[in-house]
Amino acid sequence: MGNEAIAYGALTVGVAVVSGYPGTPSSEVIETLLEMVKSGHVKIPYVEWAVNERVAFEICLGASLAGARSLVTMKAPGLNVASDPLLSSAYSGVEAGMLVLVADDPGPHTTQTEQDSRWYGELAKLPVIEPSDPQEAYEFTIKGYELSEKLKLPVILRTTTRVNHTVSDVEVGEFNEYKYAPNFSKNPKRYLRAVMYWNRERHLEVLETLAKVEEVSENLELNKILGSGKIGIVCSGPSYLYVLETLEKNNLLQDYKLLKLGLIHPLPKKLLRKFLENVEKVIVVEEIDPYIELKLKALAHELELDVKIEGREEIFPKAGELTLDDVESWILGKKNILNSEPTYPLPRRPPPFCPGCPHIGTYMGLRLGVSKAGYKWGEIPLMGDIGCYALGLNPPFESIWTEHSMGASISMAMGLKVAGYHKPVIAVIGDSTFFHSGITSLIEALHKNVDILVVIMDNSTVAMTGHQTTPENNLSQSGKILKALKIESVLEGLGVEKLAIVNAYNYREVAEKVRKFLREPGVKVIVSRGLCAILTRRKGLTQICIVDKEKCTNCLACIKLTGCPALKPTENRVEIIEDNCNGCTLCMQVCPYDAIIVEKIKER
């Protein structure tokens, strides 16, 4: 997998400090390293998940200034969270190499926006490089460190899902130890941003450094040219593979001149100039924004070259991931096969909550509690956040009204109230998202004494991205003992007065607190706790639920109220798929006929 290749690349250069926040499609880089450290295959002085991307970035920056090669990983929106230190890092620069992996998600498959992080190169004045496949992901990781140390700047390694999550055969070199003596020297002009003329000087210096990148990176062979035709194609990332496949399969490679860019910022101007001067027309094939296209148009204008340049701005669909068919139809001049989907209207299949998911219990409790407080379900806003609990948007709950950005549930709920919105407002947020960003939103709401109900759905893990640890865990995935922070201690410390800790698997208990708190003034917080169902299963189950065939009337209340995928309707009654049941008893709690009973099982 591309992400494993990046991890191996980092091991090849002897990375010493690795941090990041989980987010698809970036998570497997750190997961790979953690697994290898835990199993004793490699030694890395520090590899841990951080509370958020900004903190992770600053840890890696500090480590690099102390002489350690560092790697920070995140999905695209994570770079927005880390953008504050990112922008300052061009002014401070680095000592040992620092690589910033940002995984964009054209499509999008798993991300709130189709963000094109290449723009951050311009904004932050940092070099950006982009690989096309897992083999290059490995090589570019190594090259990234070389470039970073030559320039004394962090380097952004920009990938897209089709690199991160593509699996292929990759040749990997030996892993090395990078020896360094940790040290940090005082250098006010580089590290202090409080003096404005230093900032101006550093700005000029970084611009001078960027102007040298093309020359400095020449031996790294980040870019390549194939073919010699009069029509030019410029591409980067996986779009290179789509173009190459199309040209190879149609025996057209010699009819085109293909420029594959690996150095994305600053673009290699000399190379591009030579390229533009030798072609009559240029097609730019790139994912998400017309970034290279616009740059090329500007360059052609600057050089007064009469070359037609076309790309996503004119032809390709403006949104969504490129397909082989898009690229072929464009290069061969065919039409009408762009992104053709089956014309049959097919039922959707969104991922449901897992069988026995604690969020099922919390949403059942919220639904009942809201109605006990005198409101209809769906009448008052549930402001959602980012994590598995966002799946509550699907039936049977159709619960959340918003899912915006990490921590926004609480602050957006506050926004509704300060705008004068008259009904109660509920914010739901997971434990890891709370620590990531929700905590600052809560401080704001508490300080301003806003009337909102916050429900922290605490499943003790970052579930959606593959069960990474949160600040509540006392054992790191690398095997280190950590200090566990309890959410309730944090909340008490912040001065939350109306606080309840409830069991997510007892939905009536959840409902009772929701009913009680909903009409009360001020900030109320319910921590609804239940271990992620997948982790519960891994620990070993001791019971499952079974259906009493005599009593089940096939009323389907269990299915309609819980939506649990372990429940299966048959002709005369509901069945529980034994292999899927976690024994959480939520279906049992709602069965009007007591037709569901618990059966103890031998641990499995």
Partner 1 sequence: MIKEYSIVIAGVGGQGGLTLSRIIAHASISSGLSVKIGETLGMSQRGGSVQSYVKIGRNVWSPLVKNGSANALIGMEPLETVRALRYIGPQTIIVLDPEPIPTIYNLVGIEKYPEVEKLLEILKNKTSRLHIVEARREAEKINARMSANILLLGKLISIERVLPIEKIEEAIKIVLGAKAEKAIEAFRLGLKL
Interface residues with partner 1 (CB under 8 A)? 24-25, 109-110, 133, 162, 165-169, 238, 241-242, 244-245, 248, 323-325, 328, 337, 340-342, 344, 346-352, 354, 391, 394-396, 464, 466, 534, 556, 559-560, 563, 565, 567-569, 579
What the block records as the tokens of 446 is 């508490």
Q: Look at residues 503, 589, 570, 532 and name the one whose alpha carbon lies nearest to residue 354.
A: 532
Whole-angstrom distance, CA of residue 153 vs CA of residue 93: 5
Q: Least distance from C-beta 529 to partner 1, angstroms?
A: 21
**Phi, psi angles (nearest 5°) of residue 445:** -65, -40
Nearer to partner 1, 347 or 592 (CB): 347
**Short-list 573, 576, 592, CA closest to 584:** 576
Angstrom distance (rounded) from CA 446 to CA 289: 40
Minimum CB distance to partner 1 smaller for 104 or for 133? 133
Q: Of 134 and 365, which has the nearer Cβ to partner 1? A: 134
Is the distance from CB of 172 to CB of 142 less than 8 angstroms?
Answer: no
- For residue 563, the minimal CB distance to partner 1 (Å) is 6
Give the shortest CB-528-to-partner 1 separation in angstroms: 21
CB-wise, 95 or 139, nearer to partner 1?
139
Closest distance between partner 1 and the C-beta of residue 534, in Å?
A: 8
Given the complex with partner 1, which of 99 and 464 has the nearer CB atom? 464
Contact 482, 473 (CB under 8 A): yes
Contact criterion met (CB below 8 Å) for 590 and 364: yes
Residue number with CB closer to partner 1 (238 or 381): 238
Question: Which token pair is 582?
Answer: 């976690």
3-state secondary structure of 197: helix
* Residue 241 beta carbon to partner 1: minimum distance, rounded to whole angstroms: 4
Q: Which is nearer to partner 1, 44 or 564 (CB)?
A: 564
Dihedral of the CA atoms 539, 542, 547, 550 (nearest 10)?
Answer: 180
Q: CB 488 → partner 1: shortest distance, Å?
A: 29
Nearer to partner 1, 329 or 470 (CB): 329
Nearer to partner 1, 416 or 534 (CB): 534
Instruction: For partner 1, give the closer residue by CB, 342 or 521.
Output: 342
- Smallest CA-to-CA distance from 495 within 446, 428, 545 is with 446
| Nearer CB in complex with partner 1: 84/248 | 248
Distance in angstroms (rounded) separating the CA atoms of residues 593 and 32: 49
| Residue 514 DSSP SS3 | helix
**Shortest approach of partner 1 to residue 358 CB, angstroms?**
14
Smallest distance, Å, CB 509 to partner 1?
Answer: 25
Nearer to partner 1, 186 or 348 (CB): 348
Closest CA to 272 of 326, 320, 309: 309
CB atoms within 10 A of CB 597: 13
Q: Rounded to the nearest whole angstrom, what is the least distance from the CB of residue 404 to partner 1 in the complex?
A: 16
The nearer residue to partner 1, 150 or 162, going by C-beta atoms, is 162
Q: Which tokens is 521 given? A: 């003034």
Q: Token pair 């953008």 is at which residue?
A: 83
Closest CA to 358 of 391, 310, 320, 319: 391
How near is the Cβ of 426 to partner 1 at its closest, in Å? Answer: 22
Beta bridge partners of 259: 225, 234
Q: How far is the CB of 54 from partner 1 (least distance, A)?
A: 25
Rounded Cα gap, residues 66 and 551, in angstroms: 69
* Cβ proximity of 33 and 47 under 8 Å: yes
C-alpha to C-alpha distance for 128 and 144, rounded to whole angstroms? 9
Is residue 115 helix, strand or coil? coil
Paired tokens of 144: 């990234």
Given a contact cutoff of 8 angstroms between Cβ atoms, the answer to whether 504 and 528 are in contact is yes
The full length of the chain comes to: 604
Rounded to the nearest 10 degrees, the angle between the axes of helix 239-249 and helix 324-331 is: 60
Nearest approach, Cβ of residue 224 and partner 1 (Å) = 15
Q: Smallest distance from the beta carbon of 342 to partner 1, in angstroms?
A: 4
As beta bridge partners, residue 454 has 427, 525
